[in-house]
């Protein structure tokens, strides 16, 4: 891997597509799937374009340090993968919401599964399909080609061609951005809602619990939804999107050019072009400024003292992590379940700067992706290995037990190398190098997609579940 600002990149060599991801040096660089995730961490696989995607003539060994088809130190699952092999579409991107999951495949089809009581699956109905496999649901009719996805508490948003944004699902606070509070996808297809009136061209998205933010051309940010605890950053406490569109709010007054956004439950963080990080919203240490004072205006948030330059950022419900330009990891915020990965449960950022904690100990391994859920963290290493720490009551750490773990030391046995991670709420999904998807954690709402309501990872390792049958 190369860690230089002008060429900071992560190339994922997958048998059917070579994907070059730029981290932190341009709009939407390198965000991970998270509890309010930046969307441009996994482009859609078009042959050419600004996302730098090309179709290779053959396979090769990439910066993951793993040749396609090689082992990650665990035995592969037996049987023929439902979506593996050379036949059929392959997954390109995964977006995890609180209780559902969506996958975009290389044929452009978008499929969602899990809880559907608010139309979050985009099927035009609210039928309960939680106990059925992911393949039971038809592709979502969005009405435009999808560029990237991000999931929230009960809604999903897509960046579509032309820099437009479309959202569907739960809309009690106007988080969909259409100027009303009616759900979308429960009795109509998401295509019927059309584009959100942003007033600017979007290049990246971050979706929190009940709010969203868009990075627009020129490095500006616009947010909408419920203004819980100052999360929108405009300083007035007013929700946006319930009876007006996001265009009316305009840009947040952030000085400088933003290149990535991440969204948590009641807070947001941005990565600036100079590789510094700024956060605003509710503060119990999650903002990382060494105090607990809430920051209502995004423009008043200064650079964090990380002790290193950030290449990408991710936010969970109460905490955040930054991958540094050297491939290290620094995390801060609430730590009551050990989710920061430092081997203890002390909050970082409430009375000290994140720099005081130093790098999360990973034994010298380099981090290429990080995904944050509700009080837990998973990292993807340059070897293709996944490690998780924090809350584990539903097996969301994927370690075959339900004990809390406060260090990122044990690998998750997935049976196949992973190239991208996404987490939200109580479950995590990984995009595998063979184009399959592996999910683990809470299964009660059918969010894992295996056609059962049992958890995966609590008393077995995720490798035993195999690929999600989303076709």
Is the pLDDT confidence value at 61 over 50?
no
Domain assignment of residue 470, yes or no: yes
Q: What is the mean pLDDT of the chain?
A: 86
- CA dist 363 and 235 (Å) reads 42
Please write the tens of the pLDDT for every residue from 280-325.
999 999 999 999 999 999 999 999 999 999 999 999 999 999 999 9
Distance, CA of 96 to CA of 424 (rounded, Å): 6
- Model confidence at 87, pLDDT cuts 50, 70, 90, reads low
Strand partners, 21: 10
Q: How far is Cα 470 from Cα 467, in angstroms, rounded to an integer?
A: 9
* Entry pTM: 0.84
**Tokens linked to 227:** 């203004």
Residue 398: which residues within 8 A CB-CB, separation 6 or more?
378, 386, 388, 412, 413, 414, 428, 440, 441, 456, 457, 461, 462
Does residue 50 lie in a domain region?
no
Number of domains making up the chain = 1
The residue that leads in pLDDT, 331 or 53, is: 331
**Where in the sequence is the domain holding 155, given as residue range(s)?**
27-44+68-471
Distances (CA, A) of 7 to 22, 24, 31, 266, 412: 7, 10, 16, 33, 30
CATH of the domain at 322: 2.130.10.30
pLDDT at 126: 97
- 59 found inside a domain: no
Q: Residue 421's closest CA among 139, 113, 200, 91?
A: 91
Give the three-class secondary structure for 24: coil
pLDDT at 78 over 60: no
Domain presence at residue 35: yes
Cβ density class 41-70: b for 16+ within 10 Å, e for less: bbbbbbeeeebebeeeeeeeebbbbbebee
Nearest alpha carbon to residue 347 among 358, 333, 365, 337: 333
Residue 20, pLDDT above cutoff 60 = no
In a domain, 416, yes or no: yes
How would DSSP label each residue in 158-185? Answer: EEETTTEEEEEE--TTSTT-SSS---BS
63 in any annotated domain: no
Q: Is the dihedral of CA 301, 306, 312, 318 positive or negative?
A: negative
**Least confident range of 30-39, 116-125, 152-161, 392-401:** 30-39
Q: Is the confidence at residue 79, as pLDDT, over 60?
A: no
Q: Tokens in use for 404?
A: 């809390």
22 part of a folded domain: no
- Residue 395 located in a structural domain: yes
How far apart (Å, rounded) are the C-alpha atoms in residues 241 and 247?
Answer: 9
């Amino acid at each position: 891997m190369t860690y230089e600002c002008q060429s900071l990149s992560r190339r994922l060599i997958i048998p059917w597509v070579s994907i070059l991801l730029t981290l932190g040096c341009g709009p939407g660089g390198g965000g991970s799937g998270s509890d309010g995730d930046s969307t441009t961490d996994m482009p859609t696989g078009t042959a050419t374009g600004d996302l730098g995607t090309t179709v290779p003539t053959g396979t090769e060994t990439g910066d993951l340090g793993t040749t396609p088809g090689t082992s990650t130190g665990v035995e592969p699952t037996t049987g023929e993968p439902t979506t593996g092999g050379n036949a059929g579409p392959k997954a390109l991107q995964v977006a995890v919401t609180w209780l559902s999951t969506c996958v975009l495949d290389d044929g452009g089809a978008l499929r969602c599964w899990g809880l559907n009581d608010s139309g979050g699956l985009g099927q035009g109905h609210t039928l309960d399909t939680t106990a059925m496999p992911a393949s039971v649901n038809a592709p979502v009719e969005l009405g435009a080609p999808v560029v990237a996805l991000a999931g929230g508490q009960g809604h999903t948003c897509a960046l579509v061609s032309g820099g437009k944004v479309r959202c569907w699902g739960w809309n009690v606070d106007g988080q969909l951005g259409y100027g009303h509070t009616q759900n979308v996808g429960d009795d109509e297809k998401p295509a019927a809602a059309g584009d959100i009136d942003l007033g600017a061209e979007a290049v990246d998205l971050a979706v929190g619990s009940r709010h969203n933010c868009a990075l627009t051309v020129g490095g500006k940010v616009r947010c909408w939804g419920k203004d819980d605890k100052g999360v929108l950053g405009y300083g007035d406490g007013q929700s946006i999107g319930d009876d007006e569109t996001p265009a009316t709010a305009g840009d947040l007054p952030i000085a400088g050019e933003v290149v990535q956004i991440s969204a948590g439950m009641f807070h947001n963080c941005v990565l600036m072009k100079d590789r510094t990080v700024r956060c605003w919203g509710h503060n119990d240490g999650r903002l990382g400024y060494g105090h607990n004072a809430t920051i209502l205006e995004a423009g008043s948030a200064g650079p964090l003292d990380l002790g290193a330059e950030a290449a990408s950022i991710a936010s969970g419900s109460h905490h955040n992590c930054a991958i540094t330009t050297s491939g290290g990891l620094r995390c801060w915020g609430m730590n009551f379940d050990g989710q920061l990965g430092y081997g203890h449960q002390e909050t970082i950022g409430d009375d000290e700067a994140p720099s005081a904690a130093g790098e999360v100990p990973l034994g010298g391994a380099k981090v290429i992706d990080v995904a944050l859920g509700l009080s837990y963290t998973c990292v993807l290493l340059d070897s293709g290995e996944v490690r998780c720490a924090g809350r584990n009551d539903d097996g969301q750490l994927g370690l075959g037990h339900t004990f809390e773990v406060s260090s990122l030391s044990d690998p998750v046995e997935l049976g196949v190398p992973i190239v991208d991670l996404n987490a939200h709420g109580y479950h995590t999904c990984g995009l595998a190098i063979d184009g399959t998807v592996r999910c683990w954690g809470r299964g009660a709402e059918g969010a894992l997609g295996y056609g059962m309501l049992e958890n995966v990872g609590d008393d077995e390792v995720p490798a035993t579940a195999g690929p999600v049958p989303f076709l």
